[in-house]
A and B are shown apart, each in its own frame.
Chain A
Amino acid sequence: MMKRLLSATALAALPAGALFAQDLPPCENCADSMTVVSWGGAYQNSQIKAYAEPYAEATGVTFVWDESSAEAVAKLRAQNEAGNLTWDLVDVTAADSMRLCDEGLAMEIDHDEMLAPAPDGTPASEDFAEMIVSECFIPQIVYSYTFGYRNDVAEWNGNTPDDICDVFDLEAFPGKRSLERRPHNNMEWALLCDGVAMDDVYDVLETPEGQDRALAKLDTIKDQTIWWTAGADTPQLLADGEVVFGSTYNGRLFSVIVEQNQPVSMMWDTQSFDIDGWIVPAGLSEDKLNRVMHFLRFATDTQRLADQAKYISYGPARDSSQPLVSTHAELGIEMGPHMPTNPENARNAFVQNYEWWADYRDDLDAKFQAWLAQ
């Protein structure tokens, strides 16, 4: 387990730090360190830069980072069973937050009470709106699963894919694809390209015939597909030329395209939105809880969420943060056009149904894995 200690005093002074300090109300009976769990990499870095450093600057709190978000649900359950809770704040996906809430491992949140309203006074629950997918979830960013493609494939005769169904079109766009090794999104995309309307996808997918239909569609590209499990796989495969088409998180594609200048382009059509955010483990001691809530009020306000977009191309979950999104901290490019939430990119976006997946996940996963193994 990689832990990074971030000492507040060792930080270089941030230009804006002084500004926040006076906005922060004092924190009474609060622990002076907190263990935050996140995903590591560029994403965790964006959180450190946008939330943790300014907060540490203003309060002197020590942050301990644990890069365990991928196994957060299992580890929290184990900690709970062992009666030894070591985490204070955990970054998870929307679907995981729902499961943690179901298991009683995450605390229920009163969003209006505990989080800061928008600058114009809109209460947090309205500012986050439908991003609040479970009672325990504090949304942070919107990301998407979308496709990147090589823009130097000779066999494509200059055509560029601009439709999700081009993924399934081996004649016009030959070459290997990479898809995630789980049913989520793949089944939905397959049905959409098999002529199902976006609103009916889950109704169709609920039936065994619908599931077979989705798998039959995926069958058409099965032997041309490499199945990935880690978010870094597709960018690597695209950069190596192993695949010509691949799905992954949009932020990963951003770094391949913009930061590493690979001959890869983005296809935003039918990107599948997903949300990432915080949960507070149930059963924190009072001083730790006070500290976490104090931090969260700061870290999820309108300005902080907009600040995060300077470091990574994920859209802030608050409505009121959207106009404040500015330029990349190092590259200086405008971040707006790279956000999944950008109206131009989100024209034909798809939204996963978490509640549906919570029910069908086990069933469909068994089916999907059996299909893969055939």
Chain B
Amino acid sequence: MSDAASQTGPVLSADGKPLKRSLQRALRAQKLRALALIAPLLIFILVTFIAPIADMLFRSVENQIVSDTLPRTTRALQDWDHKAGQPPSEDVFAAFTYDLVAAAERKEHTRLGTRLNYEMTGISSLFRKTGRRVDDFGETYMDQFTQVDPALERPETWMTLMAAPDWQADYAAWDAARVAANKAGRDFDQPAPLFRLKAGVAEVLPETADAYAEFARLAQTENADNPADEEPWPPVFLALYRDLIHVGPGAIGRLDDASQAILAPAHDAVETFETVDLVDLYLDADEDWQNPQVWATIQAFAPAYTPGYFLSSVDLKQTPDGVAAQPEDQRIYVMLFQRTLFMSLVIMGSCVLLGYPIAYLLSNLPMRTSNVLLILVLLPFWTSLLVRTSAWKVLLQQQGVINDVLVWMGIVADDARLVMINNQFGTIVAMTHILLPFMILPLYSVMKTIPPSYVRAAKSLGATNWTAFWRVYFPQSVPGIGAGCILVFILAIGYYITPELVGGTTGTFISNRIAYHISSSLNWGLAAALGTILLAVVLILYWLYDRIVGIDNVSLG
């Protein structure tokens, strides 16, 4: 005691360094070595398992497609109030025109239409139909501008108006390098410098500059064309008209001389132009553009992240006015989640009931007999899942083996054959059979370790057979039951082939809907949300199990 009290400095090791630090160093080296040893597995799991699953789950909230495809529209819609019950102003339609024509060029408008169709039926064909026409919107203005000055139709005029001189120089240099490389037979894979706007033009002609820049860049990226050779599409002239009608002559004066010379006559003439109502063009394409609900849907789904898929997974939906319940005749997911949990529990329970006696028998028979029996347990385990499921069909159907036998024995009348398949019963029977080995094997390996002398000792002390089993043997087999139940339950909850084949309409699981949304309806966002919820449910149940039973109390033998 006095020693410890007198020592004030840290404990030193033999080489004079503080013991704590050398210990830490030794431990760190050990930890690093251990980490290096598991690194291959860790990296493998991260790359092939965790990352793809995280990516897939991320889709349940991801919604960038709307704001990426319609950036101008979503901005323009910010101030629009859907509650007024009116379609938005012409400005929004103009912004939408520039977005849609670019999206149609990139062939993304139908994709967005499909996305929004999940939220509002009919948007898919609305986008498809209008996308075919939108590149003509503005043609009236294009014709009138070219009447004022035919030069406005020519690509080089637009280069003078819009292109930054240094971009033109860069492009010329790039083009020369490309030609030289081609001549020399070398590969040339440098990307062309992307179109840049002239300074100042965007302040005077904001919409035109924006629409033209989009056009020029798309010409480069989508078709590998030189914008200097391409005539702009009609919506650019729509933008020019809208700009010129708004700006005074003074504003034009802020442009350089060459641009002033081009635009001055056009600016004088726009007042006399025959106008065309942009909204009417849209209504010509489809009446639904008048429906404020369409615009409200675009507005509601403009944010980059959405809770919409999660709401759909619990039979709610996101509407412009907030969260609402799905119409009663479309609610299906909550019921399916409940059914999946309930049926998985029933399957788990029947696996315990059927598997326990078999495992008991296996572990108490002499080695030679039990090995033969074990092979019988494993044999179906090695048979294809589809074969086993189809076999159940043959057995259970109304003209099947079991019904035939029952009718032959006179237990069931021929016209009242039992319905045992294409319903919940069929799914439970087939899945219990398929998952039974997952229950028997952990039970068997745990029971193997229970010494028979305990039961004998209990009996010798006067216990009845039942008491000896229930008070002595059974508690020792509980870890096996726990392991088997977790295995069977978690496997059952995600099963989909067997329920699909024998479940009919009342025996299908939530996983069947997930599969449907992944492979058939292509609503991956909803599938991801359903999958995330399923994963969360499993984790919560696992946590509950740990709290109630204790995960230490699980053993595979």
Q: Which residues of B contact A370 (CB under 8 A)?
A: 329-332
Are A226 and B504 in contact (CB-based, < 8 A)? yes
Question: Quick one: which of A73-101 are within 8 Å of B by CB?
Answer: 73-74, 77, 99, 101
With A227-B505, A359-B117, A370-B329 known as contacts, the answer to whether A241 contacts B128 (CB < 8 A) is no
Does B355 belong to the interface (CB within 8 Å)? Answer: no
Question: Chain A nearest CB: distance from B525 CB in Å?
Answer: 12
Q: Which residues of B contact A77 (CB under 8 A)?
A: 522
Q: Which residues of B contact A359 (CB under 8 A)?
A: 117, 121-125
Does B523 belong to the interface (CB within 8 Å)? Answer: yes
Question: Quick one: which of A211-260 are within 8 Å of B by CB?
Answer: 212, 226-227, 229, 240-242
Does A1 belong to the interface (CB within 8 Å)? Answer: no
Are A373 and B117 in contact (CB-based, < 8 A)? no
With A71-B519, A355-B125, A362-B118 known as contacts, the answer to whether A372 contacts B505 (CB < 8 A) is yes
Please give the number of chain A residues whose Cβ is less than 8 angstroms from any Cβ of chain B in the complex.
35
Does A358 belong to the interface (CB within 8 Å)? Answer: yes
Question: Quick one: which of B21-61 are within 8 Å of A by CB?
Answer: none
With A242-B397, A242-B399, A373-B505 known as contacts, the answer to whether A362 contacts B111 (CB < 8 A) is no
Are A366 and B128 in contact (CB-based, < 8 A)? no
Once the chains are docked, how many angstroms separate the CA of A370 from the CA of B121? 17
Q: Which residues of B contact A372 (CB under 8 A)?
A: 505
Does A361 belong to the interface (CB within 8 Å)? Answer: yes
A and B contact pairs by CB, cutoff 8 A, 17 listed: A70-B519, A74-B520, A77-B522, A102-B111, A102-B114, A103-B111, A103-B114, A181-B505, A212-B329, A227-B504, A229-B500, A360-B122, A363-B330, A365-B521, A372-B505, A373-B505, A373-B506
With A362-B121, A370-B332, A373-B332 known as contacts, the answer to whether A99 contacts B505 (CB < 8 A) is no
Are B329 and A371 in contact (CB-based, < 8 A)? yes
Q: Which residues of A contact B400 (CB under 8 A)?
A: 240
Q: Which residues of B contact A363 (CB under 8 A)?
A: 121, 330
Question: Quick one: which of A55-81 are within 8 Å of B by CB?
Answer: 70-71, 73-74, 77
Question: Chain B nearest CB: distance from A177 CB in Å?
Answer: 13
Question: Chain A nearest CB: distance from B396 CB in Å?
Answer: 11
Q: Which residues of A contact B121 (CB under 8 A)?
A: 359-360, 362-363
Once the chains are docked, how many angstroms separate the CA of A101 from the CA of B330? 28
With A240-B397, A366-B332, A367-B329 known as contacts, the answer to whether A102 contacts B122 (CB < 8 A) is no
Are A358 and B399 in contact (CB-based, < 8 A)? no
Does A348 belong to the interface (CB within 8 Å)? Answer: no
Once the chains are docked, how many angstroms separate the CA of A361 from the CA of B520? 11
B108-119 toward A: CB 8 Å interface, digit per residue (1/0)?
A: 101101100110
Once the chains are docked, how many angstroms separate the CA of A226 from the CA of B505? 9
Question: Quick one: which of A330-374 are within 8 Å of B by CB?
Answer: 355-356, 358-363, 365-367, 369-373
- Closest B residue by C-beta to A364: B121
Question: Chain B nearest CB: distance from A134 CB in Å?
Answer: 10
Q: Which residues of A contact B506 (CB under 8 A)?
A: 373
Are A366 and B330 in contact (CB-based, < 8 A)? yes
- Closest B residue by C-beta to A71: B519
Are A74 and B518 in contact (CB-based, < 8 A)? yes
Q: Which residues of A contact B481 (CB under 8 A)?
A: none
B95-117 toward A: CB 8 Å interface, digit per residue (1/0)?
A: 00000000000111011011001
Once the chains are docked, how many angstroms separate the CA of A212 from the CA of B327? 13
With A102-B124, A226-B504, A362-B121 known as contacts, the answer to whether A369 contacts B397 (CB < 8 A) is no
| Contact-residue bracket for chain B | 35 or more
User: Considering residues A227, A362, A365, A373, which has the most beta carbons from chain B within 10 angstroms of its beta carbon?
Assistant: A362
Beyond known contacts A358-B128, A361-B521, A370-B330: 8 more, CB 8 A cutoff: A102-B111, A229-B500, A242-B398, A355-B128, A359-B124, A359-B125, A362-B117, A366-B330
Q: Which residues of A contact B151 (CB under 8 A)?
A: none
Once the chains are docked, how many angstroms separate the CA of A149 from the CA of B533? 43
Are A104 and B111 in contact (CB-based, < 8 A)? yes
Q: Which residues of B contact A241 (CB under 8 A)?
A: 399
Q: Which residues of A contact B106 (CB under 8 A)?
A: 104
Q: Which residues of A contact B161 (CB under 8 A)?
A: none
Q: Which residues of A contact B123 (CB under 8 A)?
A: 359
Q: Which residues of A contact B443 (CB under 8 A)?
A: none
Question: Quick one: which of B56-112 are within 8 Å of A by CB?
Answer: 106-108, 110-111
Does B372 belong to the interface (CB within 8 Å)? Answer: no
Are A226 and B422 in contact (CB-based, < 8 A)? yes
With A104-B108, A362-B118, A362-B523 known as contacts, the answer to whether A369 contacts B332 (CB < 8 A) is yes
B125 CB contact (under 8 Å) in A74, A240, A358: A358
Q: Which residues of A contact B500 (CB under 8 A)?
A: 229
- Closest B residue by C-beta to A226: B422
Question: Chain B nearest CB: distance from A5 CB in Å?
Answer: 23
- Closest B residue by C-beta to A233: B501
Once the chains are docked, how many angstroms separate the CA of A70 from the CA of B519? 8
- Closest B residue by C-beta to A355: B125
Q: Which residues of A contact B446 (CB under 8 A)?
A: none
- Closest A residue by C-beta to B506: A373
B510-545 toward A: CB 8 Å interface, digit per residue (1/0)?
A: 000100001111110000000000000000000000
- Closest B residue by C-beta to A222: B505
Are A102 and B336 in contact (CB-based, < 8 A)? no
Question: Quick one: which of A178-216 are within 8 Å of B by CB?
Answer: 181, 212
Once the chains are docked, how many angstroms separate the CA of A362 from the CA of B453? 64
Q: Which residues of B contact A104 (CB under 8 A)?
A: 106-108, 110-111
Does B365 belong to the interface (CB within 8 Å)? Answer: no
Does B335 belong to the interface (CB within 8 Å)? Answer: yes
Q: Which residues of B contact A358 (CB under 8 A)?
A: 117, 124-125, 128
Are B399 and A74 in contact (CB-based, < 8 A)? no
Once the chains are docked, how many angstroms separate the CA of A181 from the CA of B125? 25
Question: Chain A nearest CB: distance from B59 CB in Å?
Answer: 10
Question: Chain A nearest CB: distance from B122 CB in Å?
Answer: 5
Are A74 and B505 in contact (CB-based, < 8 A)? no
Q: Which residues of B contact A74 (CB under 8 A)?
A: 518-520, 522
B375-389 toward A: CB 8 Å interface, digit per residue (1/0)?
A: 000000000000000
Q: Which residues of B contact A99 (CB under 8 A)?
A: 114, 522
Once the chains are docked, how many angstroms separate the CA of A226 from the CA of B398? 12
Question: Chain B nearest CB: distance from A23 CB in Å?
Answer: 34
Are B505 and A102 in contact (CB-based, < 8 A)? no
Once the chains are docked, how many angstroms separate the CA of A77 from the CA of B114? 14
Once the chains are docked, how many angstroms separate the CA of A358 from the CA of B113? 10
Once the chains are docked, how many angstroms separate the CA of A74 from the CA of B335? 26
Once the chains are docked, how many angstroms separate the CA of A101 from the CA of B521? 15
Q: Which residues of B contact A371 (CB under 8 A)?
A: 329
Once the chains are docked, how many angstroms separate the CA of A360 from the CA of B94? 28
- Closest B residue by C-beta to A370: B332
Q: Which residues of A contact B518 (CB under 8 A)?
A: 74
- Closest A residue by C-beta to B521: A362
Question: Chain A nearest CB: distance from B128 CB in Å?
Answer: 7
Q: Which residues of B contact A242 (CB under 8 A)?
A: 397-399
Once the chains are docked, how many angstroms separate the CA of A77 from the CA of B518? 10
Q: Which residues of B contact A102 (CB under 8 A)?
A: 110-111, 113-114, 124, 128
Question: Chain B nearest CB: distance from A246 CB in Å?
Answer: 13
- Closest B residue by C-beta to A178: B422
Q: Which residues of A contact B508 (CB under 8 A)?
A: 373
Once the chains are docked, how many angstroms separate the CA of A356 from the CA of B125? 8
Question: Chain A nearest CB: distance from B237 CB in Å?
Answer: 26
Once the chains are docked, how many angstroms separate the CA of A102 from the CA of B125? 10
- Closest B residue by C-beta to A75: B519
Question: Chain B nearest CB: distance from A109 CB in Å?
Answer: 14
Are A367 and B330 in contact (CB-based, < 8 A)? yes
A133-160 toward B: CB 8 Å interface, digit per residue (1/0)?
A: 0000000000000000000000000000
Q: Which residues of B contact A355 (CB under 8 A)?
A: 125, 128
User: Considering residues A74, A360, A371, which has the most beta carbons from chain B within 10 angstroms of its beta carbon?
Assistant: A74
Once the chains are docked, how many angstroms separate the CA of A359 from the CA of B117? 7
Q: Which residues of A contact B326 (CB under 8 A)?
A: 366
Q: Which residues of B contact A227 (CB under 8 A)?
A: 422, 504-505
Once the chains are docked, how many angstroms separate the CA of A242 from the CA of B519? 29
Q: Which residues of A contact B332 (CB under 8 A)?
A: 366, 369-370, 373
